[in-house]
Amino acid sequence: MAIRIRKLRKRMDGLELYRDLSFTAKTGKITAIFGPNGSGKSTLFNILAGVMKPDGGAYAIEPFDQRRFSYLFQNYRETLLPWRTNRANITLPLESQRLDKHEIQDRVTTLQQQLDLQLPLDGYPYELSGGQQQMLAFFRTLITNPNTLLIDEPFSALDYQNWLHFCNILQAYHLAKKPTTLIITHNIEEAAYLAEEIIVFSDKPTRVLGIVKNPLSYPRTVNTLKSAAFHDIKRQVLELFHGKAEA
């Protein structure tokens, strides 16, 4: 019951992305992958989503349910459809599952209340600010009530205030629904704030340098960000990343 990667191998453009990459993201937990750019993190997600094929090794998402699998792209704003209203953008995954209109409406209302989303649902995406567009796309990935969430550098373009807001929404959803969440980030603060386990990736060919356990209790708040224990987690990640001597 988890996302399992076993001895995954993949070459791209003649470069070895990973050789025998293995790790597990536990069910119902948030796991962060922290690593340098170009370590094949996004490719890993594309493989998990079935968009790309690995050269070897095995991977599994258990239990897998296409309808409750959500993938938040790095450039997820671009996946919004400008010819659909904001509401119709959110409900697209539900429409494709052929749910009836009332059920779809109920789901939107419920999630809206749960996450305190304030967006003009009858407007169009191009009328929204960049941050609101990201919020809309984020909302769409949560509407299917996913039990598996892949999130690829989600909040990298946001200012600090919005970043914290997004993190807290993700956290709230997580606490309510306990999906298995795998989140790619190159923001060490984000990894330490959200995740229960932080997997640190090396440069190419990518391998796991180590795993940092993060026992800080949820819900985490601004006070968590200020705490000594939080900084200790960040230090552990940096030590793995740079080697003990440098850090």
Partner 1 sequence: MRKIYTFLGPLGFVLIWWLIAAFNLADSFFFPGPKETLIALVNLLGGDLVKDILATLSRTMQSFALATIIGVPLGLLLGKAENAYRSIEFIIDFFRSTPATALFPLFLLVFGIADASKIAAATFGGLLIILFNTAYGVINSKKIRILAARLAGASRWQIFRWIVFWESLPQTFVGLRNAISLTLTIVVVTEMFVGTNVGIGRRIIDFQVVFNIPAMYAAIIAAGMMGYLLNYCLRAIEQRLVHWKQ
Residues that bind partner 1 (CB under 8 A): 49, 51, 66-67, 69-71, 73, 75-76, 78-79, 81-84, 92-93, 95-97, 124, 126, 140, 144
Of the pair 97, 156, the CB lying nearest partner 1 is at 97
Quick one: DSSP state of residue 202?
-
SS3 assignment, position 238 = helix
Of the pair 73, 230, the CB lying nearest partner 1 is at 73
Q: Which among 197, 165, 159, 202 has a CA at the least distance from the CA of 181?
A: 197
SS3 assignment, position 161 = helix
Q: How far is the CB of 126 from partner 1 (least distance, A)?
A: 5
**Which residues are 180's β-sheet partners?**
148
Q: How far is the CB of 107 from partner 1 (least distance, A)?
A: 14
Q: How far is the CB of 70 from partner 1 (least distance, A)?
A: 8
Q: Which amino acid is at 166?
A: F
Of the pair 75, 110, the CB lying nearest partner 1 is at 75
Of the pair 86, 236, the CB lying nearest partner 1 is at 86
Of the pair 96, 109, the CB lying nearest partner 1 is at 96
Q: How far is the CB of 202 from partner 1 (least distance, A)?
A: 28
**Cβ-contact 43, 10 below 8 angstroms:** yes
Q: How far is the CB of 15 from partner 1 (least distance, A)?
A: 23
Say which residues have a Cβ less than 8 Å from residue 242's Cβ, sequence separation at least 6: none
Crossing angle (nearest 10°) for helices 130-142 and 86-96: 20
Alpha carbon distance 194, 106 (integer Å): 29
SS3 assignment, position 11 = strand
Q: How far is the CB of 131 from partner 1 (least distance, A)?
A: 19
Q: How far is the CB of 120 from partner 1 (least distance, A)?
A: 15
Structural tokens at position 79: 């996946």
Say which residues have a Cβ less than 8 Å from residue 178's Cβ, sequence separation at least 6: 28
Structural tokens at position 145: 């009530």
Of the pair 98, 226, the CB lying nearest partner 1 is at 98
Of the pair 39, 46, the CB lying nearest partner 1 is at 46
Q: Which among 71, 79, 78, 81 has a CA at the least distance from the CA of 47?
A: 71
